Amino acid sequence: MALFEIHVQYSDGSPASGVRVVLSSSALLGGMSKPEWTDSHGRAVVELSTAASGTLYVDGRDRGTVRAGRSVVTLR
């Protein structure tokens, strides 16, 4: 199991709260994480049981590949 701490912010640096965050596993037959929503600090913790990296989706948009640990995403 791998934990991903995702911080979502706007281009001015303010936190994006209430944003839906999902990860798609990079492992063969890995599947998707359950959806999580960012808190008032723009933070969401997502768990993947099958891989230590995956494709990050924020409100349904592909934001690239992330690895387990902390990642920051800026919305424009």
Running DSSP on this structure, what letter comes out for residue 18?
T
- Single-letter amino acid code for the residue at 34: K
Q: Structure tokens of 71?
A: 């990642």
Q: Which architecture characterizes domain 2-75 according to CATH?
A: Sandwich (2.60)
Domain ranges of the chain: 2-75
| Residue among 62, 75, 76, 66 at smallest CA distance from 6 | 66
* Residue 22 pLDDT level (bands cut at 50, 70, 90): very high
pLDDT tens-place string over residues 23-43: 998 777 778 999 999 999 999
pLDDT tens profile 9-19: 999 999 999 99
pLDDT tens by residue, 37-62: 999 999 999 998 877 899 999 999 99
- pTM beyond 0.85: yes
